[in-house]
Structure 1
C-alpha cells in the first residue's frame, strides 16, 4: 500500500486505541512502524515463535506523525535494531506489537 494510506491507517489505529482504551495486537517487520504504533514491542524468534526480547515504548500515547524524527523515537528504534542485529543468529522472524 502507498505511504499516504499507510499513515492514515497508522493514525486510525492510534486514535482508536487512545479513545477506546482497547489494545491491538499487530505483527510487523518494520521497526519504525512498530515503535510508532506500539506501547510495547516484542522481538520474536521464527521457530518456535518465542519472545526473545521486549521493549517498553515510552512515548506519548497521542503520537503524531512528526514524532518519528525526534531523538527519543530514534533512540528506541536504534535500541530495537541493535537487539535484532545481536540476536540475528537466533533466526529472528519479525517484530510484534
Structure 2
C-alpha cells in the first residue's frame, strides 16, 4: 500500500513542480511520477539535512517532507532545463 501512495504522491509532486517550472506540456504522467520520486531523492540528499526533515521517499508525509520533495523536484527540472536549453527558465 505504501508503494501506491508513494507513486501517487510522487506523481502529484512531479506535476506541481512541472506546473511551477512551466514544463507540463512536455511531459506526461509517467515522467511526472519519475520527476517527483527522483526530485524527492535529490531533495532528501541536498535539503533534508539542512531543514531536519525527511522526504516522501523516507515515508515522511508531513507538510515539511512534501515541501522538501517539491523543492527537490523543482531543482531537478531546473537542472534538466539548464542542460537541455541552456537556461533554467
TM-score, normalised to structure 2's length? 0.33
Q: Give the structure with higher Rg (CA).
A: 1
Instruction: Identify which of structures 1 and 2 has the higher relative contact order when contacts are C-alpha pairs closer than 8 Å and 6+ apart.
Output: 1
Q: Which is richer in strand?
A: 1
TM-score, normalised to structure 1's length? 0.31
Q: Which is richer in helix?
A: 2
